[in-house]
Homo-oligomer: A and B are copies of this chain.
Amino acid sequence: DRPLTVIAGPCALESVDLGQEVAGRMKEICQAAGAQYVFKASYDKANRTSLSGGRGLGLDEGLKALQSVKDAIGVPVLTDVHTEAQCAPVAQVADILQIPAFLCRQTDMLLAAGETGAVVNIKKGQFLAPWEMGNIVTKVESTGNTRILLTERGTSFGYNTLVADMRSLPQMAQTGYPVVMDATHSVQQPGGKGGSSGGQREFAPVMARAAVAIGVGAVFIETHPDPDTAPSDGPNMIYLDQMPALIDTLMQFDALAKARPVSV
């Protein structure tokens, strides 16, 4: 069991500069703590709560920006895809294609992502039981691609609220694939601010810690130098300058968890 991987970056890839700043800083933080690091950012926000929410750089500019982060910082990158057609071009740049939670049952997209040969990170839909991920994994596996990650990002719990069921982590691990805890979106309050989503940033480290103690392959944490000015998910992103202490703590829990694995 390898040490924890940290998937981190800003929600939206606002600019090349922001991407390089966050990726560079996170690479240092993770190296210092002994964690693997993957840069994450979105080139398009295709399902914003409201029409007036910004969409981002778009596919072409976005892929250039991701490539520049890879080139300048030397880290693998993850980004989300939104249609079948995006999978192949995105896989030219991204090391990990991420399937958004709302789209996790769209068969054609899962197949297109699988066929690229890239790692496919599937977010469990907010409407899905953990044991249903087996059916989704089978869709990707049918392409011959078994480089699969499964991510917990919270489950619908009444209106405008998610709950992270910790049983989900060992349940999804029974597929045999690494499990990722998305500590950022688990504490999102979807649509909670009327025209945009709210969030409880203060609980993201709590979720990350609980998950790492149970034992996961990776944590997914959105971070930004100044979350309150970010175009999306500001309320649940963590301040970049709080990441060193958080990652260091998580690595301590990770070492302990992997020395004493849970058996379910």
Contacts and interface: CB of A to CB of B under 8 A. Distances in A.
B205 A209 contact: no
Contact of A126 (B156, B195, B206): B156
B203 A167 contact: yes
A226 interface: no
A129 interface: yes
A80 B161 CA distance: 28
Contact of A206 (B51, B191, B249, B264): B264
Interface in A118-136: 125-132, 135
Contact of A166 (B83, B142, B210, B253): B210
Given A155-B159, A210-B213, 13 more contacts: A50-B139, A51-B107, A51-B138, A102-B105, A126-B156, A135-B191, A155-B156, A155-B163, A157-B158, A164-B166, A167-B207, A205-B262, A210-B211
Interface of A: 46-51, 55, 82-84, 102-103, 105-108, 125-132, 135, 138-139, 142, 155-161, 163-167, 169-170, 187, 190-191, 195, 200, 202-203, 205-207, 209-214, 249, 252-253, 256-257, 260, 262-264
